[in-house]
Structure 1
């Protein structure tokens, strides 16, 4: 059920169920960077969000005058992927539409999730294509990183660093949905100390453009994690607000939850992506550990 990738300096484990990254270890120290899915806090590691990111109003949407149901973050994270390519340091996993997915997602799709490990950098890639005349979807990552990384430290010993250091637009949540009309300017032109109270109102969501790198670092030791991408329109930062969990997620998204004013039409959903037959959607992001 799992795949192992290895470089000279790191080891990665991927679960075929959900094509989920479940371990990323630096060999010379044995430090594990990925949250180990303790269900007392959150029972996942780094789920793939597809064909939705976030939650739909009333868990429903409409397409061509028909109404469909779908839960938060879609169904890919709860499905078994096929391995179509694998080497010592890379793998490609595949999920295709079937009779079950078509019941509540009326689009034929092929989703490829790629992993490539080079030294201490893991590249995660998405390739989406369709056989339908048109297809609407969102996709994104949800990797959770252990905080603290080193025994004897705590969350307040770590900080979130933004590159480039500049202000970004923050999109607030109202319950499970975004409130796009109340966007503000986030002070991401400086690093932010990590603390559980940052997530008291759930995820912190930013609009992003161009090249971005978000790092979890500490002045008490040299270990950290850097997540980088090009042209993902949103990023979320999350840790549970009901319990003080020892992890923080950095989530690159091509898509977002419904707005409080959403009309439910998937064609008009904020952040939705559209493909037509023969087109491909390609995005990737990297995780580097130190």
Structure 2
């Protein structure tokens, strides 16, 4: 476990999955991150790579060959190498292996960096294509889960709300089972805060189409002054999720550069909706910030 610290926060990141596992305030010891109780969901904040969501029938085709990969890809279940570590900064690296090539026939260099400044943790993804002649296709995303309520005994799930800026009605991409149904896009009015309710997630995550516009989602309550604010500069989507029908005491705010297969997907990986690419010897960069208050 790698630790970052400053005068405001103590952060822990697990080398397994480069997974953010704990963010605790120094002053009042509030734990912001969900602590992975397997009764509800045994993860904290997995890195989603090289896919976000589910593939149709958990498989896809590249150059006529079929590959199998489960939901959200394999990075979350692999050990990363720590290549930089200071008090307020760490970088985790994952490279292609024979094991990954059986599921995903591409070479890659994935780096996840965490930088702590005052009450803000910045998370940055760099996906580099080491090939000199093949374009690297992929999706990537985050899945941080936050305790709701943040302080035990102070309110419950329905005492929290999500406020989105800019305030507007957002295109919402529905899910049919685990697959996106963009042809039947809905609208979610977020001109006012959305009060959390477990029934919001009866059809899985709420997926907002951000159109790469800088957006901030704040998870907070009127019962106290504590919460989190997640800011994305260039993400196409953000998911809001809590497991249903479980009444889990956490909510996820998920920045995505990719999305689950479409209900009409033909299985060709290069046809995948909102697929990112890195050309030969090129890199893709993305990230987000979480402010803890």
Which runs of 5 or more residues in structure 1 are unaligned? none
CA deviations 1:134-184 (Å, max 9, x no partner) are 111000000000001122311111110001101111000000101111001
CA distance in 2, matches of 1:18, 1:179: 29
SS at match of 2:244: coil
The reply on whether 1:145 has 2:179 as its aligned counterpart is no
Runs of 4+ more than 4 Å apart: none
CA distance in 1, matches of 2:159, 2:62: 47
Show the counterpart of 2:27.
28
CA distance in 2, matches of 1:131, 1:66: 22
RMSD: 0.7
CA positional deviation for 1:131 = 2.1
CA deviations 1:97-154 (Å, max 9, x no partner) are 0111111201000000000011110000000011231111000000000001122311
Show the counterpart of 1:210.
213
Aligned length: 289
Show the counterpart of 2:268.
265
CA deviations 1:1-44 (Å, max 9, x no partner) are x0000011110000000000000011111000000000000000
CA distance in 1, matches of 2:278, 2:115: 26
Which runs of 5 or more residues in structure 2 are unaligned? none
The reply on whether 1:280 has 2:267 as its aligned counterpart is no
Q: What is the TM-score with the length of structure 2 in the denominator?
A: 0.97
Show the counterpart of 2:117.
118
The reply on whether 1:256 has 2:259 as its aligned counterpart is yes
SS at match of 1:242: coil
CA distance in 2, matches of 1:94, 1:197: 38
Instruction: Give runs of aligned pairs for residues 1-290 of structure 1, distance below 5 A.
Output: 2-132=1-131, 133-150=134-151, 151-208=153-210, 209-290=212-293
CA deviations 1:35-93 (Å, max 9, x no partner) are 00000000000000000000000000011111110000000000000000010010000
Aligned partners of 2:216 and 2:230 also within 8 Å = yes
CA positional deviation for 1:242 = 2.5
SS at match of 2:57: helix
Q: What is the TM-score with the length of structure 1 in the denominator?
A: 0.98
CA deviations 1:202-241 (Å, max 9, x no partner) are 1100100311000111111000100001110001011001
SS at match of 2:281: coil
Aligned partners of 2:220 and 2:228 also within 8 Å = yes
